[in-house]
Structure 1
Amino acid sequence: MWVGSTSERGLHEVVLQVVGWSVNRVLAGHGGGSVDVALTHDGGVRVADYGPDGPSAADEDTGGRDLEALLTRMSSDEGAGRHIAHVSRSGQAGLFVANVLSSRLTAEVRRGGTCRVQEYARGVAAAQPATTESMAGSRTVIAFWPDTEIFETTRCSFAVLAERLRQVAFLNRSLRISLTDERPAGGAREVSFRFPDGVRDFVAALDAETPGTHHPDIIAFEHEDPRMAGTMEVALLWSGSRRERIRGFANSRATRQGGTHLDGFRDGVAAAVTEYARDRGLLTGDDAPRADGINDGLTAVVSVKLDHLEYLGATQGLLGNSDVRGCVGDAVRRHLGSRLKEHPQHAAQVIDRILRNTHQD
Structure 2
Amino acid sequence: MTEDAKRYNASDITVLHLWEAVRARPGMYVGSTGERGLHQAVFEVVGLAVNEVLAGRATSVHVALAPDGGVSVADDGPRLPVELEAPLTSMHARMGSGGRVHAELDMVGVGPCVTNALSSRLTAEVRCDGTRWVQEYVHGVPVAPPTAVGEAMGSGTTITFWPDADIFQTVECSFTVLADRFRELAFLNRCLAISLTDARVPGEPRSERFRFPGGARDFVAFLDAPRRRPVHPDVIAFEWEDERMEGRAEVALRWCASDEKLLRSFANSRPTSEGGTHVVGFREGMAAALHAYARERRLLSPTDPDLGAARIGQGLTAVVSVKLARPEFPGATRSLLGNAAVSACVREAVREHLGGWLEGHPEQAAAIVSRLLQVASRG
TM-score, normalised relative to structure 2: 0.87
Q: Distance in 1 between matches of 2:103 and 2:144?
A: 32
For 2:19, the equivalent position in structure 1 comes to none
Conservation of the 8 A alpha-carbon contact between 2:82 and 2:146: no
1:139-171 residue CA offsets vs partner (Å, 9 max, x unmatched):
110001111221111111111111111111111
For 2:11, the equivalent position in structure 1 comes to none
Q: Which amino acid aligns with 1:247?
A: R
**5+ unaligned residues in a row in structure 1: which ranges?**
none
For 1:156, the equivalent position in structure 2 comes to 173
1:42 to 55, 60, 68: 68
Superposition map of 1:1-361 within 5 A: 1-29=28-56, 33-50=59-76, 54-56=77-79, 66-75=83-92, 81-88=99-106, 90-211=107-228, 216-283=233-300, 284=302, 287-361=305-379
For 2:4, the equivalent position in structure 1 comes to none
* Cα 1:220–1:212 shift into 2, 3 Å: closer
Q: Which amino acid aligns with 1:331?
A: A
Q: Distance in 2 between matches of 1:265 and 1:65?
A: 44
Conservation of the 8 A alpha-carbon contact between 2:277 and 2:338: yes
Decide which moves more: 175-184 or 307-316.
307-316
Q: Which amino acid aligns with 2:43?
A: L
- The secondary structure found in structure 2 opposite 1:144 is strand
* Cα 1:65–1:298 shift into 2, 3 Å: farther
Conservation of the 8 A alpha-carbon contact between 1:17 and 1:92: no
Q: Distance in 1 between matches of 2:269 and 2:82?
A: 24
Q: C-alpha displacement at 1:211, in angstroms?
A: 5.0
Q: Distance in 2 between matches of 1:211 and 1:224?
A: 31
Conservation of the 8 A alpha-carbon contact between 2:104 and 2:269: yes
Conservation of the 8 A alpha-carbon contact between 1:14 and 1:97: yes
For 2:5, the equivalent position in structure 1 comes to none
1:230-254 residue CA offsets vs partner (Å, 9 max, x unmatched):
1111000111122111111111111
Q: Which amino acid aligns with 1:28?
A: A
* Cα 1:214–1:204 shift into 2, 3 Å: farther
Q: Distance in 2 between matches of 1:161 and 1:152?
A: 18
- The secondary structure found in structure 1 opposite 2:88 is helix
Q: Distance in 2 between matches of 1:307 and 1:212?
A: 37
Decide which moves more: 200-209 or 70-79.
70-79
- The secondary structure found in structure 1 opposite 2:331 is coil
Q: C-alpha displacement at 1:215, in angstroms?
A: 5.2
- Runs of 4+ with deviation above 6 angstroms: 76-79
- Residue correspondences, number: 350
- The secondary structure found in structure 1 opposite 2:193 is strand
**5+ unaligned residues in a row in structure 2: which ranges?**
1-27
Decide which moves more: 246-255 or 75-84.
75-84
Conservation of the 8 A alpha-carbon contact between 1:87 and 1:168: no
TM-score, normalised relative to structure 1: 0.91
- The secondary structure found in structure 1 opposite 2:29 is coil
1:37-91 residue CA offsets vs partner (Å, 9 max, x unmatched):
01111011000012xxx324xx8xxxx9821122111126777544311124x14
Output the aligned Cα RMSD.
Answer: 2.0
- The secondary structure found in structure 1 opposite 2:265 is strand
* Cα 1:82–1:242 shift into 2, 3 Å: closer
* Cα 1:290–1:142 shift into 2, 3 Å: same
